[in-house]
Structure 1
Amino acid sequence: MGLGKTIQVLSFLGSLHFSEMYKPSIIICPVTLLRQWKREAKTWCPSFHVEILHDSAHDLSSKKKQSDSESDYESEDLLDSETEGKKSSRTSKKWDPVIARVVRSNSGLLITTYEQLRLLGEKLLDIEWGYAVLDEGHRIRNPNAEVTLVCKQLQTVHRIIMTGAPIQNKLSELWSLFDFVFPGKLGVLPVFEAEFAVPISVGGYANATPLQVSTAYRCAVVLRDLIMPYLLRRMKADVNANLPKKAEHVLFCSLTKEQRSVYRAFLASSEVEQIFDGSRNSLSGIDVMRKICNHPDLLEREHSSTDPDYGNPERSGKMKVVAEVLKVWKEQGHRVLLFSQTQQMLDILERFLVTCEYNYRRMDGVTPVKQRMVLIDEFNNTDDIFIFILTTKVGGLGTNLTGANRVIIFDPDWNPSTDMQARERAWRIGQKKDVTVYRLITRGTIEEKVYHRQIYKHFLTNKILKNPQQRRFFKARDMKDLFTLNDDGNGGSTETSSIFSQVSVDVNIVGAPDSQERLSFQAPVAKDDNSKIGEADNSDPKGKAGDDNNNGELDEETSILRGLFDAHGIHSAMNHDAIMNAHDEEKLKLEEQASQVAQRAAEALRQSRMLRSREGVAVPTWTGKSGAAGGPSSAKKKFGSTVNPQLTSKSSEESLNGYDAIRGNAFPAGASAGKALSSAELLAKIRGNQEKAVSDGLVHQFGTPASTSNSRAGSVSNGNRSASSSSVVQPEVLVRQICTFIQQRGGKTTSASIVDYFRDRIPSKDLPLFKNLLKEIAILEKNPSGSFWVLKPEYQDQ
């Protein structure tokens, strides 16, 4: 989001027009973005004949305010339908000239909304468009919605969806979007859900069986490979955007006494019992709990909204935090965006801002469409406006609000992309200051459960679009888990902290009173899509001045969090970026590094074998001390190519060649075996000494003794163990050990054999390297008799 999707699409359409390949096209977008699209089209494609098909002059003041239903959370779908739904066939005729002008023009571009497309389907669906572009295309994520079915009937094969959130809740949404772009590519929905959606979702829980986890991984890989050719996904680091840093923190607020009392009373009420019995809709109960978390007065809005004390900040834990934060940010000269899910909560926040005499602006679903861009431009261009309060659905879609550098998300949404969209209003191209985002979560309540659901959905998205091997944290739970209160006063830890504290030390910023030292935190860069940006910032020509500014930002945020924690305004704070990157970026980096090391080691072995093959079999191989074949040119000039047999016993103990080890360990020079061995015993002795030589090499390199249960070569002395414990791993040596092990078994062996032999010899930290080395020198071949690792031809005995 904020990476120039609008400009990129317009540039593409403009290039088609320049190449005389353009036909009249249609762009469908949310009502808030109509004028933004027209303005950008005039800027980037001035030759286009742009028309807006929307009754923007419609008097929204006559629109009845959102009804007092049990769910008061604003919906863009509802806003569009209420704004535009009161159309008739008679009034739709006025759009005929507009449509005709666009279709007749060789440079016609029609911009309309999803609801207008639904209402005027009989006019717009019969036209053969050059391109159909859906901005904020996740609007058609419901595959059975009327607007989705109408969009899929557009007469064109050239279809583009623009969205920053292709998966918001479940995989069927991805199917719906993809079925618009490439109908039938993912089959029909029932088959897709049975074969992909269900296995991937089930395998994403922490209590999934190994089979379910493996199945989910395989299905995710197949699905990713199917959609990737038709998906252009860019992060901010990919376009090398010169963005400032972003720090995003989750502040866990405590309930006030009034909130806790009301919350517990509701959990013990008959309404909750009816929800458990199935006689009452659970969403109504969830909405009640979310209102209590925001402010308990919301439950009495109808009766006490005119009371002067209505919305008192002292009765809301989150409002007390907001009051303290805004006071500090005002003094520091920052500008703020404050997002909430409901208009009702904005009413309370607005009363608070008036009381504090803050200069503010407000935008929500009842704001006339024509005034929305005026408000946005006024905020961006006027430094005197301190704070802009918005509903997440209206203010969080496609708008550019880079005039602010501080963002507060007052209450979380079930949909992670909704909060992410809100955050991206400020942290986007054009922002010049470091951005700080505070997510307010009331700990132990339904809000913390909502936040967990956000994280789960984020991991599900990454499982398909980024990394199929996602770590699993959450367990499948029932409805009763939502209707609980895990609040034990100021002590203890949050459930979120318990889940993710194992991931990284960077997760917890401010914790319980016994962890005060964690207050000296460092604001992290957003690792998921801006890691390269952070590196670029270090080379800022401003030099030390830039560093001083960054340090000042850190000191400011440290001071704010310290003050909130000391005043018991917040229970704890966590690093949101570290949580969202809990799929273990370090492991991915380690795998990549191990792969590079393995490739270098395999190449070194290949070159070494080539050098050795230039000499005859009668020339001893270079061991580092003796021999000549395959060694450096200087080694061939030294004397000593003929070795005294009396000296071989010492060198054989250090040799990694099995046949040299036989003489040193079994038959020292001048010694007698004491008994003649049979040929079978002799061969067994040779094989045992060969394997012991390999084992000794591994122990020497890794300091890990062979297990007596897995090795037939005996044990290693404690002295040798301690002496080798600090040895540095040499991939070139390790790859030779793997190669020798497979060669001794005829050039191929099973995975079980490799695991059994090397399991207790390779430290866990070197397993990625071992795995990549194995893949470099051998191929896993599968046949009816089983699977075998077979050495590549260049590593076979010659």
Structure 2
Amino acid sequence: MLSNPAELPIVTQSDITELRKDFKLRPYQLEGITWMKFLAKYGLNGILADQMGLGKTIQTLSLLNIINEKLQYKCLIVCPATLVDHWCSEWKKYFPNQKSCFKTAFMLNILESAPNGIYVGAYEEIKHGKFKNVNWKYLILDEGHVIRRSQTQLFENITHLRSQHRLILSGTPVQNSPGDLWALFAFLMPDYLPDRGEFNTMFVKPIKACRSNKATEKILKEGENALQKLHKIALPFILRRNKKDVLKDLPEKSVSDYYCHLTPLQRKAYEAIVDNCAFQSKLSKTKGQAKTFSPMHTCILLRQLVDHPQFVQDEIKEVGISESIHGTIEESGKMLALKQLFDDCEIGAPIEESNEPFSVQAEGSSNDGCWDSIETVKKEFSHRVLIFCQWKKSIDYLEQVFTRHQLGREINYLVLDGSIPVHDRHNVGERFNGDPSIDVLLLSTHIGGVGLNLTGADVVIFFDHDWNPVKDLQAIDRAHRLGQKRHVMVYRLITKDTIEEKVMNLQKFKTNTANVIVGADNASLQTMDTSELVDLFSLSGGSKRDKKEINNCGQEPSAKKRKTIDLTDNSVINIEEKWDLDVLWSEDDYTEAHDLTSFANSST
């Protein structure tokens, strides 16, 4: 019954007594509330893993209304700081007659003697210990996958909070590895899964072994069995519905890879940076020698270079590129592709049209009302865009391009990134949704890719991409969710034959693994051909440098390696035996670095 809530006595709309009378819950939402209520009744905890945009918020608030109708208990919702206002406004919107939520950011400490009700706080507040003095009736983690790293202080602090019931909300509970699931269940039900070491032996290692392109049939079978076993163990406590199955009236979504090419300047700089990649023991600052970069730094530089050479102009000079960089869109293949995309989608008004004087009708007639109507209709049917960026400098550059009309169009835009105060971010999203004159919302994937409702847009453009495919999927679902009335078009700008294209290929294994663990159907387990470091950096597609060595990259990275690796020898090409790229390039490396822009700009 746990895995099939349809067999439980379904909660009805009338059971949620304080819910706004003019709002009707969908059948799958009532089933979700039924499932969570059933777990609570028998002292169990679980993960509501509905695909983003299906209304996990309203289901959760309805559950709290049922079990805490008279607000006789204290319930805590912990979420990303950006979403605190969202939770409070949703509670006020759907339960207007109930007491407002308490925002814990304005409280120094919370004691058992504090008023009963619903408290909403941010993960950043956990470290201050303000939640530890209360025995909560319900402890709910929104975007709960953030606790997946069990070695962090956040995980330690949050698992020690006291509560009668626990619930995790996450459309993507498994992000990087099956090991993510262990941390989530350690919070929900500490003794349900084996300890971390045994869990890794039983599940993580055999599943990860399948990613090697040298995996034998026996290894593949072991990985398949481990994956299916983990799926069965987790199934009763994870409820996931997909939009295509439950939202028949949701408009379609189409995802297109929009390929672009390096400009001659970018290609020259790309080759020079790759030539100066070296491991730590070979990093050179000797006078008269070209600057060298670590593999991690090289990776970041290449990703920024394919966006625009201006982003790495200091490093370009250090490797001997003398060409001047002016910051024009013609210097970046990706910017030229973006201009073409804006023209194709008719984003904003062409400058030549917007500057033409409007012809006035004959005296005695008025077309003001007609003109206003035309403009209103035009805005209602024009495309509106979310542009997601990884780098703050990308957002700043695009702002500059829009302001200077370098795309040849009049673009009205807003920005939502780390520079916007936390308490204003929800309002930025609401302003974008409510004002059809705003053509574009520029967002950082980290800040704007989670939790927000941005159905005012029907076009989503990824200017660049996150290592973790889940974050890009979350970003897409800011627009493709309940409330969307139009077909959503997603464009992923990918620079052909560069690190960007190759990293996109590395996402497949993680995505398939996550789908099998939390999905209802059995997705086939595919091997992931982990490209060698040389191939990850090298230019392909007919370049003379396809087979050329990367200078200085042959040095072993640490004394722990048993033999020296010569990457210039084409007979020694299986990088799987030499590097654990999942560790070297994992998304956790970036999260722990906190500030990628500063890291990319720092001297090696």
Which TM-score applies when normalising by structure 2?
0.69
CA contact (8 A) 2:417 2:444 kept: yes
Match of 1:38?
88
Q: Distance in 2 between matches of 1:284 and 1:265?
A: 14
Number of equivalences: 442
- Structure 2 residue identity aligned to 1:126: N
Match of 1:156?
163
The sequence identity of aligned pairs, in percent, is: 35
Q: Secondary structure at the match of 1:242?
A: coil
The one-character-per-residue Cα deviations of 1:592-642 (angstroms, maximum 9, x if unpaired) are: xxxxxxxxxxxxxxxxxxxxxxxxxxxxxxxxxxxxxxxxxxxxxxxxxxx
> Is 1:247 aligned to 2:254, yes or no?
yes
Judged with a 3 Å threshold, the aligned counterparts in structure 2 of structure 1 residues 165 and 47 are, in CA distance, closer, same or farther, namely same
How far has the Cα of 1:185 moved from its partner?
Answer: 1.4
RMSD: 2.6
> Is 1:451 aligned to 2:501, yes or no?
no
Q: Secondary structure at the match of 2:108?
A: helix
Q: How does 1:529-608 map to 2 (within 5 A)?
A: none
The one-character-per-residue Cα deviations of 1:548-577 (angstroms, maximum 9, x if unpaired) are: xxxxxxxxxxxxxxxxxxxxxxxxxxxxxx
How far has the Cα of 1:296 moved from its partner?
Answer: 0.9
Match of 1:479?
533
Q: Distance in 1 between matches of 2:329 and 2:222?
A: 50
Match of 2:15?
none
> Is 1:105 aligned to 2:158, yes or no?
no
The one-character-per-residue Cα deviations of 1:449-490 (angstroms, maximum 9, x if unpaired) are: 22112222101212322355524253234333322111327x
How far has the Cα of 1:206 moved from its partner?
Answer: 4.0
CA contact (8 A) 1:250 1:438 kept: yes
How far has the Cα of 1:260 moved from its partner?
Answer: 0.5
Judged with a 3 Å threshold, the aligned counterparts in structure 2 of structure 1 residues 301 and 379 are, in CA distance, closer, same or farther, namely farther
- Structure 2 residue identity aligned to 1:326: F
Judged with a 3 Å threshold, the aligned counterparts in structure 2 of structure 1 residues 244 and 275 are, in CA distance, closer, same or farther, namely farther
- Please state which structure has a larger fraction of its residues in helix: 1
Match of 1:296?
309
Which of 43, 56, 67 is 1:16 aligned to?
A: 67
CA contact (8 A) 1:340 1:390 kept: yes
- Structure 2 residue identity aligned to 1:23: Y
> Is 1:393 aligned to 2:446, yes or no?
yes
Judged with a 3 Å threshold, the aligned counterparts in structure 2 of structure 1 residues 281 and 257 are, in CA distance, closer, same or farther, namely closer
Where structure 1 has 5 or more consecutive residues not aligned to the other structure, the ranges are 56-93, 493-798
Match of 1:137?
144
> Is 1:26 aligned to 2:76, yes or no?
yes
Q: Distance in 2 between matches of 1:228 and 1:103?
A: 38
Match of 1:171?
178
Judged with a 3 Å threshold, the aligned counterparts in structure 2 of structure 1 residues 419 and 181 are, in CA distance, closer, same or farther, namely same
Judged with a 3 Å threshold, the aligned counterparts in structure 2 of structure 1 residues 301 and 157 are, in CA distance, closer, same or farther, namely farther
When structure 1 is superposed on structure 2, of 171-180 and 315-324 the one drifting more is 171-180
Match of 1:274?
279
Match of 2:125?
116
Judged with a 3 Å threshold, the aligned counterparts in structure 2 of structure 1 residues 149 and 346 are, in CA distance, closer, same or farther, namely same
Q: Distance in 2 between matches of 1:8 and 1:283?
A: 42
Judged with a 3 Å threshold, the aligned counterparts in structure 2 of structure 1 residues 462 and 333 are, in CA distance, closer, same or farther, namely same
Q: Distance in 1 between matches of 2:417 and 2:73?
A: 36
Q: Secondary structure at the match of 1:133?
A: strand
Q: How does 1:673-752 map to 2 (within 5 A)?
A: none
CA contact (8 A) 1:24 1:103 kept: no
Q: How does 1:166-565 map to 2 (within 5 A)?
A: 166-269=173-276, 272-274=277-279, 281-300=294-313, 310-329=326-345, 330=347, 333-356=382-405, 357-466=410-519, 467-468=521-522, 470-488=524-542
Q: Distance in 2 between matches of 1:4 and 1:394?
A: 20
How far has the Cα of 1:178 moved from its partner?
Answer: 1.9
Q: Distance in 1 between matches of 2:152 and 2:469?
A: 21
How far has the Cα of 1:2 moved from its partner?
Answer: 0.8
Judged with a 3 Å threshold, the aligned counterparts in structure 2 of structure 1 residues 293 and 276 are, in CA distance, closer, same or farther, namely farther
- Structure 1 residue identity aligned to 2:61: L
How far has the Cα of 1:314 moved from its partner?
Answer: 0.7
Q: Secondary structure at the match of 1:159?
A: strand
Judged with a 3 Å threshold, the aligned counterparts in structure 2 of structure 1 residues 476 and 328 are, in CA distance, closer, same or farther, namely closer
Match of 1:127?
134
Judged with a 3 Å threshold, the aligned counterparts in structure 2 of structure 1 residues 234 and 363 are, in CA distance, closer, same or farther, namely same
Match of 1:50?
101
How far has the Cα of 1:302 moved from its partner?
Answer: 9.9
Judged with a 3 Å threshold, the aligned counterparts in structure 2 of structure 1 residues 325 and 199 are, in CA distance, closer, same or farther, namely same
Q: Distance in 1 between matches of 2:243 and 2:482?
A: 9
Q: Secondary structure at the match of 1:158?
A: strand
CA contact (8 A) 1:414 1:450 kept: yes
Match of 2:555?
none
How far has the Cα of 1:103 moved from its partner?
Answer: 5.0
CA contact (8 A) 2:210 2:527 kept: no
Which TM-score applies when normalising by structure 1?
0.53
Judged with a 3 Å threshold, the aligned counterparts in structure 2 of structure 1 residues 310 and 138 are, in CA distance, closer, same or farther, namely farther
Q: Secondary structure at the match of 1:95?
A: coil
Match of 1:732?
none
CA contact (8 A) 2:386 2:457 kept: yes
How far has the Cα of 1:371 moved from its partner?
Answer: 2.1
Judged with a 3 Å threshold, the aligned counterparts in structure 2 of structure 1 residues 309 and 219 are, in CA distance, closer, same or farther, namely closer
- Structure 1 residue identity aligned to 2:530: A
Q: Distance in 2 between matches of 1:302 and 1:391?
A: 24
Q: Distance in 1 between matches of 2:261 and 2:134?
A: 57
- Structure 1 residue identity aligned to 2:457: A
- Structure 2 residue identity aligned to 1:238: D
Q: Distance in 2 between matches of 1:376 and 1:240?
A: 24
Which of 27, 40, 58 is 1:7 aligned to?
A: 58
How far has the Cα of 1:315 moved from its partner?
Answer: 1.0
How far has the Cα of 1:48 moved from its partner?
Answer: 3.8
CA contact (8 A) 1:247 1:437 kept: yes
Q: Distance in 1 between matches of 2:283 and 2:152?
A: 26
- Structure 1 residue identity aligned to 2:215: A
Q: Distance in 2 between matches of 1:48 and 1:13?
A: 13
CA contact (8 A) 1:242 1:429 kept: no
CA contact (8 A) 1:263 1:289 kept: yes
Q: Distance in 2 between matches of 1:50 and 1:363?
A: 25
Q: Distance in 1 between matches of 2:212 and 2:72?
A: 48
Q: How does 1:64-103 map to 2 (within 5 A)?
A: 95-96=108-109, 99-100=110-111
- Structure 2 residue identity aligned to 1:472: Q
- Structure 1 residue identity aligned to 2:249: N
Q: Distance in 2 between matches of 1:116 and 1:2?
A: 26
